[in-house]
Every structure is written in structure tokens, then in C-alpha cells.
Structure 1
């Protein structure tokens, strides 16, 4: 009766979209009672893809009639979270998750409202760009003698030069629960930026012209034809340090079976317009073999410019790292209500506190391998940061793409002659 008295009837279900979702709405009829509130219901639909659980959103600038929410949802859903910080679209959100799986199938309610006009997230940011002679000199140093190597490199040849970190790369003095990296101590770490030089995601240099990242970072912008750049030698995003080098992109290679809605095969390669060589600033991460075994009790490192806390509005201005263990798949499956496949890796601590976060997507999970004969350590890109629930939450882990499972795909792309 409350729905009928205060809200319109449901609109017809709209067409099934590319994410296998349909929506319908009902709006408030009496603004004195429920303001501009509206209910938006989503359901999965058939387009040949696997679709996520049912989700119901409550949207609007205000929902004054709290009796509707209280009576209909308190039985089935947990309490509301705090309002999340204002996002780039000047909208704040909060959620309440399902507590009766047999009724609401693990879905959630989401309420959103516009930010106030005074909140900083709605203000435009302008950046002053200056030229530097040192920057030009460093670019020349970075690219010297690279073209010949790029034209003739082999995967066996890469094994001889990959995975080496500069001397003195030990950690300095939060990525969540982590610490600031020493400048250029992860020479394969790259930043993917927009044409306006705004941070999008991380990535990893694995060959002279090739960067590996997460497909979900690129898909929407690739479909729109938006321009992006790959930045090498970055450490502090707010300071021009003379080591930065922006490289144009020749082509994007998203995995052919990437599923955005289910986050499956979340891997992509970026082909650069010009080759990058090994210097004291740049280098290549080693690729694992398909059958490479991960040693027990080894801590791996995840790296990025993401948020140091889920409540922070912006990511870190400096590159950060955190050491975390890889978790057995059986243990990881118990932590989530959705399927974890052999093409994914879980990493982190059950007690939480250390994890990748928003903005770290696409960056690497690097694991060390000690060569006992030479007593040298090589670093392998074991995972690509994909997604998770929150950041550093207790009883949750970060989910990464299992790179070893995609070696054949990676080699098939890189081995093609331009």
C-alpha cells in the first residue's frame, strides 16, 4: 500500500545492455512525503554472458519517508554504511548488504545523493606544466640503444635482463598498510594516465614495447576512443622529478574473453609506439612460466598510487608498496560468495590491514625468486591487481589475475610482427 500511495507503477523493463542487465524504475508521486526519491531495480538478462546477482538501488537527492525503507528492508538487509566520500561525478553513496541470502541472493541496496556545492571533489583541478632540461636529458638516456634490442629481442633474451631491481632498493618509510617505495626502485612500474595527465591505473613493463595491465581499467575508454598515455619513471605525481617519460600508445589488446560484469579474464596488453630499454630508471618485470611453482612462506609485493584507505577521496601522491602472502584458493573461496577460478590469485592477510585499494588496479603483484647459484634475486609479475571487497578488510583478500595462466596468450600477442 505504501508503494501504491506514494510511488508510480514500475516502468517496463528496458533493453538488455552490454553488461547483461535490465532496469526499471518507479518515482515518488508526493514530494511532500518522499521528495525526489525513486526506486531503481536491476536484474540479469540473457545475452550469452554470465551475470552477477540481483541488485536493487534506491536513488535520489532525498528519501523522506523512512518508514518505507525501515519496514521493507530492515528484515533482509544489514544497517547502512557511512556515506562514502564525494566522487568525481559529485555524488555520494552508501550501501546496506543482504543478510538473508535465500531472499536477496547476496545483493545490496545503494542510496545516492548529490554532494554539496562546497565539497572539494566537485572543483576543477588545474596543473601547471613546465619544461625541464634534465627531463629531456633523461629521455635521451632512457631510449639510447633500444631500437636494435627491440627489433631482435626474444623471450629467452628477456630472461637475462628482466626482474632486476637497482642497488639500494630496500623499503623506506601506507597502498593500505604499506609504505612509500624508494624512487625508481620498481623500474617496471608504469602509470596509465589520461590525455589530461590524470591517473587511471597502474601497469607493468614486461618487454621493450609492451605493458601488462587490467582490462577493466581500459575498456570504457577504449570503446570511446579516448586517448591515454603510459608514463614511466614516475614516483611523486605532484612533483616533476626529471625522470618521468610519457610514451604514446600504438594499440590496446584486451583479452578476447574479458567479461566486465563478472570480472573474468581481466587482463590486457598495451603496445607502445616506441621501445623502452633497460636503464637505472626503467626495466622489465619477469614473466612466470606456466608451471612455475610458488614457494611457501614467500611474501610478494603489490605496488601502486591507489588510496591508502577506502575513505580517502584521492590516491597516494607517491608510489607505495606492501608485502602480502599469496592465499590458497580453498581458503580464498570461503571468504567470498562468488566463484574464484584458477585464473585468479588471492593475496593478503585474514586479519586485514594490508591490501591494494582503489587506484592500484592494473598494477603488479611481484614475487621474488632467489637464484641459489648466483645469489641474485629476480622479480616475477605473478598477478595483476583486479578487484576485491573494500580495502584491507578483515576476512577478505585482494583478487589478482593469475599471470601464469595467460603466458600463451601474452606470447601470442607479443610475438606477432608489427
Structure 2
């Protein structure tokens, strides 16, 4: 009888996977049951669950420098603060990264060299306003079920109180060898309305009388939930679409995991025109990230 149950479960997972493959020819589709594996966990991502997730690495070093997200086969969206002291020739990006401590995963990692780093011209490293950068790759990725772009939201969207996902390789914790630990983590966090976010900046972060710049937004405020690596995507559900997401934010800064302090994210709704402008300037088709 137990063998029959296993067979039925395997058929069910295969059926789900086939459905996801058919839907995943467009941006933003998450694979909630993973690809070829299933983890029953609230804080670890299934293998291939977030197919737009990118690790940004410095060549010759073992740790992940920042996170990023694929918005086009040859374009990665990330945070400007990750690239203050490094050139394109010194970094690479990696798709299909899951367990940062293992080389024997279901599929091999796929690395790409970076052709150009474009940082927002009004980025401020002290305040982290306009904390957005675009990486143009030397070679495109071949899109497939485990490598898919994320969608970017239209300007009139509202995500107040939405429950959204942020991913990362254990966020703030680094071991003695400088490696982020274990498999890709995921946290489910609520977005926070602008007025509440403004009060958070003034009270919890002690930036008195400061006005929240429109390029920043807040999410979180739940103890024990990390914000993920800088540059990682915060993605929120597309209303009316099953398992499909918009990227609403980019991890900018926060106060860690232990206390219930909201984290700050670059606001994609405000930064979308700049992103579109840069891709248009480079002759990149925006349809890959348009739902």
C-alpha cells in the first residue's frame, strides 16, 4: 500500500511540474513545489522555486556578494550599494544556485560574465536612495523552467499589506570562512504603507525629521525574519494569477533578524521608468518582464 501512495505522489508532482512548465513561458511564475524535489519547510525554498533568483559573486571568492533577479535573458536587476568598489570584469552572476555549500545539486549552476554595470545616477551611498543597478551580461541565459524572468509592476499598482516573498542564503549570517550557509531561504513578509514606513525611519532608525524618499519602501516588522542579501528581490502576488509574481522591491538595508524592525527596499514602482529607460537605451525588449 505504501508503494502505491509513493507512485500516486510522484504522478501528482509530475503533473504539477508539467502544468508549471506550460505556464512558465511568461515572466513571474513561481514553482511552489520546486523542480525534482519537495521540501516541507516554511523557511527553505524548494529547488527551482524562485527561477528568477540570481547570485552575484566576486570572482575568486567563495561567498555571495549580493542577490539579484533576472528580468531579461541578458539582464539582472540588483542594488547599487553592491557595486561601489568593484568593476564588471571582477564579478559574475549565477543562476540555478540553491545550496551554496554543495556542488552536487540536481542541475549544475549556470554562470555568466558581466559586460556592464549601470548604477542609478542619483544613487546616494549614505542614504541608499535610488538603490538600484542593472547588470548587462555578456551572454544571455536560455530560458527554461528553472531560469525565468520576474515581472515588473505597472505604475498604478498598490501593494500595501500584501504578503510577499524575499529570498537569500541566510541573510545576515556568515560563517568563519565567509560563506553564506546552506540552501536558499525564503521569508514571507507584509509590505508596510508609506506613512507607517516614514514613522519607522524616524523612530526605530532614529533619523529624526527625515522624509522618506519615494525610491524607498518598507516591509517586514516580524521578529525572526531576515531581509535577505542586498540586491535580492521582494516579490508580491499578481492579483488574479495563480503562482505569478511582480518584483516590488530590492533589498536595501535593515537591522537584522532578531527584532521586529521593518526592512527598507528600493521601490520598483518609483524606479520602473529609470529601469525602462536604461533597457531601451541598450536595445533590450521590455516584454520579457511585462505581465
Distance in 1, matches of 2:264 and 2:161, equals 19
Does 2:44 match 1:183? no
**Deviation per residue, 1:341-374 (Å, 9 max, x gap):** 221110012x5221315xx110000101132xxx
Does 2:220 match 1:352? no
SS at match of 1:212: strand
| Greater Rg by CA | 1
Superposed, 1:221-232 pairs within 5 Å as 221-222=86-87, 227-232=90-95
Aligned to 2:233: 364
Contact 1:171–1:179 (Cα < 8 Å) also in 2: no
Shift of 1:167: 5.8
With over 3 angstroms needed to count, the CA separation of the structure-2 counterparts of 1:330 and 1:297, relative to structure 1, is closer
With over 3 angstroms needed to count, the CA separation of the structure-2 counterparts of 1:282 and 1:291, relative to structure 1, is same
Residue 264 of structure 1: which of 115, 129, 148 is its match?
129
**Deviation per residue, 1:29-80 (Å, 9 max, x gap):** xxxxxxxxxxxxxxxxxxxxxxxxxxxxxxxxxxxxxxxxxxxxxxxxxxxx
Superposed, 1:378-393 pairs within 5 Å as 378-393=244-259
Select the structure with the greater relative contact order (CA < 8 A; seq sep ≥ 6).
2
Q: TM-score, normalised by structure 1?
A: 0.55
With over 3 angstroms needed to count, the CA separation of the structure-2 counterparts of 1:310 and 1:167, relative to structure 1, is closer
Distance in 1, matches of 2:245 and 2:48, equals 15
**Deviation per residue, 1:136-195 (Å, 9 max, x gap):** xxxxxxxxxxxxxxxxxxxxxxx971001236248632xxxx611001110000000011
Show structure 2 runs of 5+ residues with no match. Answer: 1-23, 284-291
Contact 1:352–1:393 (Cα < 8 Å) also in 2: yes
Aligned to 1:288: 153
Shift of 1:388: 1.4
Aligned to 1:243: 108
Does 2:141 match 1:276? yes
Contact 1:307–1:314 (Cα < 8 Å) also in 2: no
Aligned to 2:59: 195
Distance in 1, matches of 2:72 and 2:246, equals 13
Contact 1:356–1:392 (Cα < 8 Å) also in 2: no
Aligned to 2:118: 253
Q: TM-score, normalised by structure 2?
A: 0.77
Does 2:268 match 1:403? yes
**Deviation per residue, 1:67-114 (Å, 9 max, x gap):** xxxxxxxxxxxxxxxxxxxxxxxxxxxxxxxxxxxxxxxxxxxxxxxx
With over 3 angstroms needed to count, the CA separation of the structure-2 counterparts of 1:252 and 1:310, relative to structure 1, is closer
SS at match of 1:300: strand
Superposed, 1:37-48 pairs within 5 Å as none
Aligned to 2:7: none
SS at match of 1:410: helix
Show structure 1 runs of 5+ residues with no match. Answer: 1-158
SS at match of 1:221: coil
Distance in 2, matches of 1:411 and 1:268, equals 12
Counting matched residue pairs gives 246
Superposed, 1:54-133 pairs within 5 Å as none
Distance in 2, matches of 1:414 and 1:163, equals 18
With over 3 angstroms needed to count, the CA separation of the structure-2 counterparts of 1:262 and 1:289, relative to structure 1, is same
**Deviation per residue, 1:11-43 (Å, 9 max, x gap):** xxxxxxxxxxxxxxxxxxxxxxxxxxxxxxxxx
Distance in 1, matches of 2:142 and 2:174, equals 36
Aligned to 1:44: none
Runs of 4+ in structure 1 deviating by more than 6 angstroms, as ranges, are 310-313
